[in-house]
Amino acid sequence: MNQDHLLEKQETDQDQSLVNLASRPISRKNFMLFSGATAVSAILLQSCSKDDDNTPASADVTLTNDDYGVLNYAYALEQLEAAFYTQVVATPYTGITASEKTMLTDIMYHEVAHVAFLKAALGTKAIGSLTPDFSSIDFTSKTSVLTTAQTFEDLGVSAYNGVAKHIKDANYLLAAGKIVSVEARHAAIIRETLNPNTAAFASAPTVATATGLDTLHTVPEVLAAAGKYIKNKITSNLPTT
C-alpha cells in the first residue's frame, strides 16, 4: 500500500476504522507513515469534525441479546485496544525504553489477534469496523499512554468478567476465558510499568483486598466508559445487569 493510496482512502470512514488501523501489518512503510505527522493529524482532524453535520457519522452498531451480541461487545472493545496499541507502537511516547517498546508491541500483537479471531468467529454476524476517538490521549506522553492502557485493560477484564454469565454456548465462554486472562496479564504488566515497585499490579479498588476478586462491570457501565474513545454509537440489547 503506498502512501498516496492510503491518504486517499483515509477520507472514507471505513478506512479510518479501528479494524483497518489495527489489522495493517506494521511494514516499514506503514510504520513511517504512522510515525510521521500524517496519521496523527488525520485522527485529530476527524476528532475535530465530530460535531460537523457535513461529515457522515460513523455507522451506528447494535449488540443483539444473544451470544453474537456478547462476542460483538468483545469485538468492539478489542478493536478499541488494537487501534490504540497500533498507534502507540507507531508513534512511541517520549523516552520509551527498549523493553517498554517490546512489551507494548507484544500487547499490540495480542489485541490484533483477538480482533481478527473475533471477526472470523462472528463471520457475517460481526458488527462493522468502529472509528476511534483518541483526541483525549497524548501519544507523546508516557503517563497519558500508560494510564489509557491501564484503563483499557482493566475495563476489558471487567467487561469479560461481567458479561460472561450471559454467554449460552460453552465454547464461546471458553474463548472469552482464553482472552480475558491475557488481558489481565496485560493489565498487571501495564500497571507495574506505570507504578513500578508498588502493589499496583493487582491493587484495590480494582482487585478487592477483602475478597481477592477482580472488578465486574455491566455492559452499560463498560459502554459508557468506552464511549469516550469510540465515535460510533453503540446500542446494546444485552442484559443491563
Partner 1 sequence: MLLQNIFKMLDLNVIDDETNSKLQSRRMAIEKAGRFGAKVAAATLPVVLTMLPRIVKAQTQSAVDVLNYALTLEHLEASFYNIAIGNASNIANGIGAVTLDANAKRIVDLIAAHETAHVKLLRDALVAANALTAADPTVNTYDWTAKGNLGTDKGAAFADQATFLTVAQAFEDTGVRAYKGRAGELVGDMTYLPIALSIHSVEARHAAAIRMLRGQKGWVTGGTSTSNGTPAFTNGVYAASATSPGEDNTTQAGVDLKSLSALSTYSAGSLGEAFDEPLEPTTVLAIAGLFLK
At a CB cut-off of 8 Å and minimum separation 6, what does 62 contact? 127, 234, 235, 236, 237
* Count of CA atoms in the C-beta half-sphere (13 A) of 157: 19
Nearer to partner 1, 47 or 64 (CB): 64
Minimal distance in Å, beta carbon 202 to partner 1? Answer: 4
Minimal distance in Å, beta carbon 117 to partner 1? Answer: 5
Nearer to partner 1, 42 or 188 (CB): 188
Minimal distance in Å, beta carbon 125 to partner 1? Answer: 13
User: What angle is formed at CA 43 by the lines to CA 85 and CA 145, rounded to 5 degrees?
Assistant: 35
Minimal distance in Å, beta carbon 174 to partner 1? Answer: 6
Q: Which helix H or strand E contains 235, and what residues bound it? A: strand 234-236
Nearer to partner 1, 22 or 33 (CB): 22
Nearer to partner 1, 46 or 86 (CB): 86
At a CB cut-off of 8 Å and minimum separation 6, what does 15 contact? 6, 9
Extract the C-alpha cell encoding 9. 482512502
Minimal distance in Å, beta carbon 173 to partner 1? Answer: 6
Give the residues lining the site for partner 1 (CB under 8 A): 22-23, 25, 27, 103, 106, 109-117, 119-121, 157, 160-162, 164-165, 167-175, 177-189, 192, 197-199, 201-203, 207, 209-216
Nearer to partner 1, 27 or 49 (CB): 27
Minimal distance in Å, beta carbon 92 to partner 1? Answer: 19
3-class DSSP state of 230: strand
Nearer to partner 1, 101 or 138 (CB): 101
Closest CA to 225 of 161, 128, 156, 168: 156
Nearer to partner 1, 92 or 156 (CB): 156
Minimal distance in Å, beta carbon 119 to partner 1? Answer: 8
Cβ proximity of 111 and 82 under 8 Å = yes
Cα torsion for 16, 21, 23, 24, to the nearest 10°? 110
197: left (phi over 0), alpha (psi -120 to 50) or beta: left
